[in-house]
Amino acid sequence: MRASRFFISTLKEAPSDAEIVSHKLMMRAGMIKRIGSGIYTYMPLGLRVIRKVEAIIREEMNKAGGIELLMPLVQPAELWQETGRWDKMGPELLRLKDRHGRDFALQPTSEEVVTDVVRTEVKSYRQLPLNFYHIQTKFRDERRPRFGLMRGREFTMKDAYSFDRDVAGMQESYQTMFDAYVKIFNRFGLKFRAVAADNGAIGGTGSHEFHVIASTGEDALVYCPSSDYAANMEAAEALPLIASRGAATQTLTKTSTPNTTKCEQVAKLLGLELSQTVKSIALTVENEVDGKLTKENWLLLLRGDHELNEVKVSKVPGLKDFRFATEAEILEAYGSVPGYLGPIAAKQPVKVVADRTVANMADFVCGANEAEYHFTGANWGRDLPEPVVADLRNVVEGDASPDGKGVLAIERGIEVGHVFQLGTAYSAAMNCVYLDEKGQPAPMQMGCYGIGVTRILGAAIEQNFDDKGIVWPDAIAPFEIVLCPMGYDRSELVKAETDRLYAELQAAGVDVIVDDRGLRPGAMFADWELVGVPHRVVIGERGLKEGNLEYQGRRDPEASAVPAADMVAFVKGKLGK
Amino acid sequence: MRASRFFISTLKEAPSDAEIVSHKLMMRAGMIKRIGSGIYTYMPLGLRVIRKVEAIIREEMNKAGGIELLMPLVQPAELWQETGRWDKMGPELLRLKDRHGRDFALQPTSEEVVTDVVRTEVKSYRQLPLNFYHIQTKFRDERRPRFGLMRGREFTMKDAYSFDRDVAGMQESYQTMFDAYVKIFNRFGLKFRAVAADNGAIGGTGSHEFHVIASTGEDALVYCPSSDYAANMEAAEALPLIASRGAATQTLTKTSTPNTTKCEQVAKLLGLELSQTVKSIALTVENEVDGKLTKENWLLLLRGDHELNEVKVSKVPGLKDFRFATEAEILEAYGSVPGYLGPIAAKQPVKVVADRTVANMADFVCGANEAEYHFTGANWGRDLPEPVVADLRNVVEGDASPDGKGVLAIERGIEVGHVFQLGTAYSAAMNCVYLDEKGQPAPMQMGCYGIGVTRILGAAIEQNFDDKGIVWPDAIAPFEIVLCPMGYDRSELVKAETDRLYAELQAAGVDVIVDDRGLRPGAMFADWELVGVPHRVVIGERGLKEGNLEYQGRRDPEASAVPAADMVAFVKGKLGK
C-alpha cells in the first residue's frame, strides 16, 4: 500500500467525549469516526485491523470444524417469541416495525435463527454434530453507549452455535471451541485469560469467558498462580476463612454503639478487628400464592470486611428473585432503622443465611435491631439458631484457591469472548429435534460461542499502548511495517531503494505501507507511532551511502542500523515469516 | 473442503413461493434459507459464492484506487434530514427509534454518511480526489419482496462514492469506476451490457446501468449491434419514424366507430393500418398558485402501435409531476368517456404534446371527444394547431439508432450495477466543501457507484442454468471442482487416488471439494449438478485400473477419460490457472 493512495487522518487531540485510552487513541489515529451515539464508521485503518481479526477467527473456526453461513440482521419477532426472549429481553433488544406493521428485532445474537435453520435442515443423528458460525453486524441498544468500540451499539461479533446428540457430544464441541479460542487469542498476540463464568440468564450448564488482560479492564479475574484455577468474580468460589468454629468465650451483651451504622465504625468504637464484626443485609422475596402476594424477610450475614456477591445470592435456594428490602420493610420486619440490623431479636420471622466464614465465627458483633445498639459476644447455637450457610461473598487476594493448590490472585480483564453450554434451553423451546438411531425424537444439545470482533480492537489497545500511541501486535496491526523514506520525491537514491524494498517485502508476503506523502520526518514518525505500526524502516541518503537502513521496532528504545541488503531477511525474521 | 465437514442440503422440489428459476434453484441447492419475507440466511454454499463475488469486487475496487471503509447500518435521521431524503424517501426506507426515542434509518445506501465523513475529514484540494467504498448489508423495505435474492429486503451491496474538485475530475473518477465495473463483470464470467440510464430521482448529470443479460430479465435493454450505442428503455431516444410530414389528402370527417375504445379496433373497423391511428392519453397537472390549487389538462398523442414511456413524459417541460387524468376529469375536460378522446374539439383548453412520429403524420385518425366517434383525415395546422413535440415513446426493434449507425435491437437484462454522476446534489446540501488553491471554498463533485452483491447470484443463475440445475461460471462457483470417488470408504485404491488428487489440486490453488459422504453415484452427481459446480472428476476402480479418471465439465454432454497422472494439469488448464 502507498500512503498517498490510502487515507490517513490523525489528530493531535482526542475529542472530549473519549474517556478511555483505547477510545482516545482510535479517534486520534483516525481508525473510527463517530456517526451517532455508540455508532461508528470504521475508517480504512480501523477496518484493516477488523479484517485481520476476522481472518484469524475464520481460519481457526474452520480448522475446528465450524461451518460459516450468514444470518440476517433483521429478524422476525415470531422466532424470538418462540423462545420468550422477545418479552424477556429489555430495551437493549432494538425492535422495529416494517411497512406492514410487522415486528422485527435487530439481532444482538442469533440463537433463534440458527435453531430455526437447524430444525428445518437437520433430521437425523447422522447429520450431527454441527457447528454453524457467522461474523456479522450486531446491534445492542445500550442505555449508555461509551468507551468507543468497547461498548458500542452497532458492533461486529463472531457467534457460533453447536448442535449435538447428547451432553457428552455438547461437551466435546464445547472443548473444541475452547481450544480454538485459545489458539485465536494466542494468534492475536494478546495476553489473555480464560475464566470459569456464571451462566447467567442465558441458562445452561457451563461457560467460560475469555478476557484480554488490562489494568483498565472492567472485570475482576480471579486466578491461582500455582494452578490452572481461574474464574470471574461471580463464579470464583470463596472458601471459609475460618476452618472451624471456636468455642464461645463471651456472653451476649447489648452494647451502646451510637452513630455506628457501618461495621468499620463499630469496630473502631469497640476497639475490635473489623473481622470480628458481621454485617447484615436485608432482602425481600415476594411470592404469589393462590393469587395473593406474600413477602418473605431474608437476612444475609457477611463478615465486616467482605463484599456481597449478588450473583451468588441469587443462587441460594429461595433467593432467585430477591431484591433489597426497602427502609419501610426493614422497620416493619426488624423494628429498627438500617445500620443496626442483626439476626437476633427481629420483630418478624426472618430467614437467615450466613456466609461460610460467618458461619464459623464465634463471639461476633452484630446489630441489635435497635438504633444505636449492637450485640457483642454473639454465638451460633447459643444466642441464635444455626443458619443456612452459603458462599455469599467476593473472593479477595490471598484467599485459598478452591482447588486447594495455593492462594488466589486478582487481575483486571476485558471480556472479549464467551463460550456457553446451552443444553436444550433453545432446542426444547423451538422443537429442534433429531431422530436417534432408534427413530426416536430427541432435542439437540446446543452450545454457543461468541467473540466480540470490534471489541478486540479496544481491548488490544488497552493492553498495548504508550505515550506515543498504539502498539499493535504484529498479527492484527493495520500494516506490519511502514517504510519511511527521507525525501522520496527529492532523492533518486532514496526512491530507488524504497521501491526495491517495498517490492521485495510485498513479494515476501509482508503487509507493508510506504509513506510517500512527503511529510517531514517528525510528523511522519509521529503518525506511525500513533497508528501503532509495529515495525518501521527509515530509508535515508546518509545511511544508504554506507549501505545501511534504519530499523526500529515500535517498542524499541532506539533504532538500529541494518545493512540494506539484509533488511528483507531481517524483517521476515522479526515477523516470524 | 470435505463434503462430510461441510453442509449440503438439497431439495427435490422448490418451495411453492419460488417464482423464478434462480430463486427455485437457489432454494433447491440449499444456498439460501428464507427467514422472513425478503430476508434470507445465506447458507454455507451461498455464502461461498457471495465471498467470491465480494473478493473480485474488492480487488478491482482497490486497483482502481478505491479505499475501503465500513459505514454503519443504523444511521441517525439527522444526516438524512440534511439532504431531505428522510422526507423524500417512501416507506422503502425503514425507519426505527432507539430506546431514547431518537430516529434512525437502516441504510439502503450511504451518501449521507460518507459525505459526513468527508466533510469532517477532508479540507483541502490536496486531499482530492478520493473514492471511498464499503461492502455492507443494506435494507430496503420493498412493498412486495420476491424472486429470492433478486428483490430481497436485506441484501449486500458494494457502494462507492467519489469526491472530486471539479466536473472534469468527477468525470474521470466516473470513467475509472466504469472501467473497473467492466473488469469486474468480465471476471465474474457473466455476459453483461452497460447501458446509458436516466438519472432519475437521485439527481446528477449522467449514469450507466450494468445489466446481466438474461431472457428472464425485468428490464429491456436497447442497443445497436453495429455501434456501441446502448441505453435502457427509459434513456433510449426514439427518433421519428416519418422523416417529414406529408401533405393532407383527406378532409376531416367525424366517423361513427361504435365499440372501438382501442386503436386496434378502430383500425380494424375502418380497414386502416394501426400506424394511421393516434392514441390520446389524458394527463392532469396540479399547480398551487397563491395557495390555490389549479388543474391543467394535458393530452399526449402517440401512434396507435407505440407505447408510452412515462420517464420521457416526466421530462417534458411542465410535466415533471404529471398524473393520469381520472374518468371524472376526462368527462369534464373532453366531454367524452375515455376511449374516444382526441386533440380536436375538447370542451376545455388542453395542452397537446405529440410524439415525434405523430407530429409528422398526415391524414390520421384520432378520437372525436364523443362516445363512439372518431375523426379520420385529421391534419396538423389545418384541423388543429401545431403541437408541442417530444420523444414520448419506447423504442422498438428496428428503430434507427440515435447515433445514425444502424438499427436498434432489444434484449432483456437484470440490473446489477449502477454508476452515477451526482455532481453537487449531496455536497451542496451537506456543505461538503474543500478549499481550492486560492483558499476559496467549493462544493465537492461527487459520484456514486453500486453493485448488488447478492443480486449477482440470482442474475448469474438466470443466465446460467439447465434442467439439471445451476451452471456457475468458474470464478464465482462455490467450488471450482468436485471430486466424486466411487466407494471412498470401500476401495483403498479409490481413496488413495482421491486423497492424492485432492491434496495436489489444493496445493495448486484450486478450490476443490471431495464428496466423501458415501452417497450412491446418481444422488451424488445430481447434487453437484444442481449446485452447479463447473468441473467434476469421478474416481472409480475400473478407470483407475487403466490409469484413468473421468472428467466432465458441467456443460459438457459427456464425460471423457483423462490419465490420472495428467489430471491436475488438465484441470489447471480448464481453470486457466
User: Is A489 in CB contact (< 8 Å) with chain B?
Assistant: no
pLDDT at A200: 58
The answer to whether A94 contacts B96, with C-beta atoms less than 8 Å apart, is yes
Bond into B129 cis (ω within 30): yes
Residue B425 has pLDDT above 50, yes or no: yes
Residue B233 has pLDDT above 60, yes or no: yes
Compute the nearest-CA separation of B372 from chain A (Å): 44
Between residues 364 and 403 of chain A, which touch chain B (CB distance below 8 Å)?
none
Residues in chain A: 577
Residue A208 has pLDDT above 90, yes or no: yes
Nearest-by-Cβ selection for A137 from B43, B68, B137:
B137
Q: Which residues of B touch A75 (CB under 8 A)?
A: 35-36, 39
What does the alpha-carbon distance between residue B208 and residue B419 come to, in Å, rounded to a whole number? 5
Over range A407-432, report the average pLDDT. 96
Over range B237-265, report the average pLDDT. 94
User: Is B11 in CB contact (< 8 Å) with chain A?
Assistant: no
Per-residue pLDDT tens digits for A319-336: 999 999 999 999 999 999
Grid cell locating B567: 489430471
User: Is B12 in CB contact (< 8 Å) with chain A?
Assistant: no
Name the average pLDDT for chain A: 95
Q: Which residues of A touch B139 (CB under 8 A)?
A: 73-74
Per-residue pLDDT tens digits for A518-538: 999 999 999 999 999 999 999
Grid cell locating B232: 435502457
Q: Which residues of A touch B98 (CB under 8 A)?
A: 94, 141, 153
pLDDT at B205: 57
- Which residues does B163 contact at the CB level (< 8 Å), separation at least 6? B118, B122, B128, B129, B130, B131, B132, B427, B432, B444, B445, B446
Compute the nearest-CA separation of A117 from chain B (Å): 7
pLDDT at A203: 47
pLDDT at B390: 97
Over range B195-223, report the average pLDDT. 83
Per-residue pLDDT tens digits for B338-395: 999 999 989 999 999 999 999 999 999 999 999 999 999 999 999 999 999 999 999 9
Over range B282-310, report the average pLDDT. 93
The answer to whether B121 contacts A9, with C-beta atoms less than 8 Å apart, is yes
**What whole-number percentage of chain B has pLDDT above 90?**
92
The answer to whether B68 contacts A47, with C-beta atoms less than 8 Å apart, is yes
3-class secondary structure for B7-67? CCCCCCCCCCCCCCHHHHHHHHCCCEEEEECCEEEECHHHHHHHHHHHHHHHHHHHHCCCE
Rounded to the nearest 5°, which phi and psi values hold at B298? -125, 145
Per-residue pLDDT tens digits for A49-98: 999 999 999 999 999 999 999 999 999 999 999 999 999 999 999 999 99
Nearest CA in chain B to A90: B99
Q: Which residues of A touch B124 (CB under 8 A)?
A: none
pLDDT at A198: 78
Over range B309-316, report the average pLDDT. 94
CB A31 within 8 Å of CB A45: yes
Indicate which of A5, A6, A7, A511 best probes the interface with B, i.e. most B CBs within 10 Å of its own CB. A7
What does the alpha-carbon distance between residue B2 and residue B492 come to, in Å, rounded to a whole number? 18
The answer to whether A139 contacts B39, with C-beta atoms less than 8 Å apart, is no
Residue B35 has pLDDT above 80, yes or no: yes
Residue B203 has pLDDT above 90, yes or no: no
Name the average pLDDT for chain B: 95
The domains found in chain A, sorted by start residue, are 49-208+412-461 (3.30.930.10), 253-390 (3.90.960.10), 479-575 (3.40.50.800)
Give SS3 for A137. Answer: strand
Give SS3 for A175. Answer: helix
pLDDT at B445: 97
What does the alpha-carbon distance between residue B133 and residue B59 come to, in Å, rounded to a whole number? 12
Between residues 146 and 185 of chain B, which touch chain A (CB distance below 8 Å)?
153-154
Per-residue pLDDT tens digits for B509-541: 999 999 999 999 999 999 999 999 999 999 999
Give SS3 for B510. Answer: coil
pTM of the model: 0.92
Residue B290 has pLDDT above 90, yes or no: no
**Among A146-150, B64-68, B462-466, where is mean pLDDT lowest?**
A146-150
Residue A422 has pLDDT above 90, yes or no: yes
A536, A542, A546, A549: CA torsion to nearest 10: 0
Per-residue pLDDT tens digits for A109-128: 999 999 999 999 999 999 99
| Closest-CA residue to B138 (of B66, B71, B46) | B71
